[in-house]
A and B are shown apart, each in its own frame.
Chain A
Amino acid sequence: MQRRVVYPNRVLPYLLLAPQIIITVVFFIYPAAEAIRQALYQQDPFGLNAQFVWFENFALVLQDPHYWEAARVTLIFSLAVTLLAMAPALLLAVMADRVVRGAAGYRTLIVWPYAIAPAVAAVLWLFIFHPDIGYVGQGLLALGIPWDYRMNGAQALLLVILVSAWKQISYNFLFFLAALQSIPRSITEAAAIDGASGMRGFWLITFPLLSHITFFLLVVNLIYSLFDTFGVIHALTQGGPGVATTTLMYSIYRDGVVNVDLGGSSAQSVILMAGVILLTMLQFRYLEKRVHY
């Protein structure tokens, strides 16, 4: 059986591929190549004189204790956001899957937070947790808990983790729900007849059948926590207090945009890019083997 599509015209396939290739080159290959090039130069803010310095920017970044502190913050932040964004989403999806009456309305409400811009989400949470103007913040203070995320690094990190995870729950919920609905009833019913129902049935039958989507979401959520949480951090803590909420991404922004050190900032981007590529490869190499499609 011939499964390959054969085009009579030699140009047509390239033409059909062109939009995809152009988008990849313009929005990924070109900026990435530019970042690598900039990382090898030291220059003044205005770009009037640039010096080729080989890998000095990388050396400076890797010698900076604050960079490693940012790496440590990023590790805690990413793992916590991924866990807190996926576990409640799975729980909500399982619950929503069982709802009979008003299911559509219920699902719509859960999806709403995804439509909120990160900066707006951060401001909403600020009105809840700000020690001076937030209800929960004032409540915690009234209970004698010294709540002030502006001065307490651990509390600041907790807050940006909560907001970042909250924003991503909707997305995960949608995927989990769709995956749950694609599991044939006959399988869960057969399991129930064999005595595997409730929690036992979920962990033995349902969860393994969700593994492909769980794996996909794991990759997506890790990448989300690394790259897309900038808005939340910027609006809530600006990376502070001290450097308690400065993730690798925020550090790139601060050095590149605020401090206009393009060489150092590009070196950090290249390191982060390499790290994410490596991480994703590892996930596919080791985790994917345990996934059932």
Chain B
Amino acid sequence: MRQRVLSLLLVALLMSLLMSASAQRVRVEFWHGLGGPLGQLLETITDDFNRSQDRFQVNATFRGSYPETMVAAIAAFRAGNAPHIVQMFEVGTATMMHAGGAIVPVYQLFARTGVPFDPSVFLPAVRSYYSLPDGRLMSLPFNSSTAITWYNRDAFRAAGLNPDQPPRTWTELRNAARRIVASGAARCGFSTAWPTWTQFEQFSAIHNVPLATRANGMEGLDARLQINSPLHLRHLQTLMDMQREGSFTYGGRDGAADALFVNGTCAILHGSSALLGRVRSEATFNWGVANLPFYDDVRGAPINSIIGGASFWVMTAPGRTDQEYRAVAEFFRFISRPEVARRWHSETGFLPIRQDVFNELNAAGFYRANPGRDLPLLQLTRTEPTVNSRGLRLGNMPEIRNIIQEEVENALQGRQTAQQALDNAVRRGDAVLAAFERAHR
């Protein structure tokens, strides 16, 4: 009996020693919104950081989808225990930028901790999305994507279409989708994931029309939606007509339609370039990628697309120490290194966010060996950004995305016309923008 007590005591002593050894490391909580293989890779990179030194420990935790992660971080902040780092999708940028004392801007983080950091290594298109108008970086870019066309080469061949000539314009896309359905090559010709992102946000950018006033919100909180323009109306009407004739299938909100392409139901999909991992592991057919289509009678189109994906924000909480911020800064420096950026880009469909990484991979023949892998970046950077294609900065954008999805769904169901859907979306979206403006005046 006595021996048992003694051994128990010994174990307890050892445990507490071990605990205190790891407690000497400064711990940092990191919440992210990447599930599956992407999340695993992100956690591998975090482990690499933890192994690379012995002073800091970053605990990466998956907190659900991007919107769920955002909500969890906000709730945690209100309860006084926000994570040190949170991964926030690009449309949460305006909400975070105006979060005042809840966040530490990245430029301040590096200035305060004295950790050297040069934000000019990032691609301008990526950097400017997460910077103030004067160029100061607010959050750390990490996983950036853009919207592209995914298509099923086998279905193209079966429908008598040339798989080496994917549709360039909306007319070509519609004809191809019709032919695919008519020939029975696939049950669904065309679908779209992230309907608001691809058919409104990216659509506006590449056609050089505003999604909202005030340079899509970049220049002020008093921005209002402009998605009931003649071109937007024409596009929604095209989608409704295509749905009626059977060449377009609505696949659901957010990323729900991804599955329809991956399982072969739909032959053409507009989706994120970051779908690559899933397509590679799940698709049982030959596939290809192409630029987003455009209306060829719109003057000047197409111009550059805009980014999606997410960036890392630093959050505050009562009692947070300088050492903890130091740990965050060191982690940011590590995760922005060229090796990490190269690995992240080459193993996923996300963009190479550093110009030098792209140049280096290009020189090494990576893009010749992997055709199409440079397409997202080339589409993103094919022209100089205009006021309409620099990006979006609209408050409560996640809510506006849902409003647009609801109104479009009502139009596709035949409950309202395209004009009514867009007018309703503008009216409801503007109310959200006005409320955000008022709360941050």
CB distance from A80 to the nearest CB of B (A): 20
Mask for A145-159, Cβ within 8 A of B = 1, else 0? 000001111000000
Residue A238 contacts which of B253, B265, B412 (CB distance < 8 angstroms)? B253
Given contacts A150-B250, A241-B410, A243-B410, 5 further A-B contacts (CB under 8 A): A48-B101, A132-B263, A240-B253, A241-B412, A259-B396
**Which residue on B lies nearest to A42, using beta carbons?**
B439
Number of A-B contacts (CB under 8 A): 74
A254 touches B402 (CB 8 A): yes
Category for how many chain B residues contact A: 35 or more
Q: Is residue A257 within 8 Å, beta carbon to beta carbon, of the partner chain?
A: yes
Q: What's the nearest-Cβ distance from chain B to residue A250, in Å?
A: 12
Q: For B413, give its contact among A47, A48, A152 (CB under 8 Å).
A: A152
CB <8 Å contact, B67 and A46 = no
Indicate whether A44 sits within 8 Å of B406 (C-beta atoms), given known contacts A153-B415, A242-B415, A261-B435. Answer: no
Closest to A45 in B: B74
Contacts of B412 in A (CB 8 A): 151, 241
Chain B residues 363 to 413 lying within 8 A of chain A, measured CB to CB, are: 396, 398-399, 402, 405-407, 409-410, 412-413
Contact yes or no, A241 B102, CB < 8 A: no
Residues of A contacting B67 in the complex (Cβ-Cβ under 8 angstroms): 258
- A272 contacts B by Cβ under 8 Å: no
Are B439 and A260 interface neighbours, CB within 8 A? Answer: no
Residues of A within 8 A of B396 (CB): 259-260
Q: Is B77 interfacial (CB 8 A cutoff)?
A: yes
- The complex places the Cα of A27 from the Cα of B439 at a distance, in Å, of 30
B99 interfacial contact with A, CB 8 Å: yes
Q: Contact between A48 and B253 (Cβ–Cβ < 8 Å)?
A: no
Given A258-B402, A261-B435, A47:B250 Cβ within 8 A: no
The verdict on A257 contacting B71 (CB below 8 Å), with A48-B101, A132-B260 known, is: yes
Q: Is A49 an interface residue (CB 8 A)?
A: yes
Assembled-state Cα–Cα distance A132/B399 (Å): 29
State whether the Cβ of B100 lies closer than 8 Å to any Cβ in chain A.
Answer: yes
A52 to B284, CA, bound (A): 58
Please report the C-alpha to C-alpha distance between residue A238 and residue B413 in the assembled complex, in whole angstroms. Answer: 16
Q: Which single member of B102, B252, B260, B428 contacts A46 (CB below 8 Å)?
A: B102
Across-interface contacts of B98 in A (CB, < 8 A):
44
Shortest CB distance B94–A (Å): 11
CB distance from A260 to the nearest CB of B (A): 6
Query: Across the interface, which residues of A come within 8 angstroms of B250, CB to CB?
Result: 150-151
Contacting residue for A240 out of B263, B409, B440, CB 8 A: B409
Could you tell me the distance in whole angstroms from the C-beta of A222 to the nearest C-beta in chain B? 27
Chain B min CB distance to A72 (Å): 14
In the complex, which of the residues A47, A242, A254, A258 contacts B409, with contact meaning CB atoms closer than 8 Å? A242
In the bound complex, CA of A153 to CA of B399 (Å): 21
- Interface flag for B280 (CB, 8 Å): no
Asked if B81 is at the interface of the complex by the 8 Å CB criterion, the answer is no
Complex CA distance for A153 and B402, rounded to whole angstroms? 16
Is B323's beta carbon under 8 Å from chain A? no
Q: Which of B263, B407, B439 has the most CB of A within 10 A?
A: B439
For the complex formed, measure the closest distance between the CB of A69 and the CB atoms of chain B, giving whole angstroms.
Answer: 10
Inter-subunit contact B398/A259 (CB<8 Å): yes
Which B14-49 residues have C-beta < 8 A from chain A?
Answer: none
Is A260's CB under 8 angstroms from B71's CB?
Answer: yes
In the complex, which residues 278-304 of chain B have their Cβ closer than 8 Å to any Cβ of chain A?
none
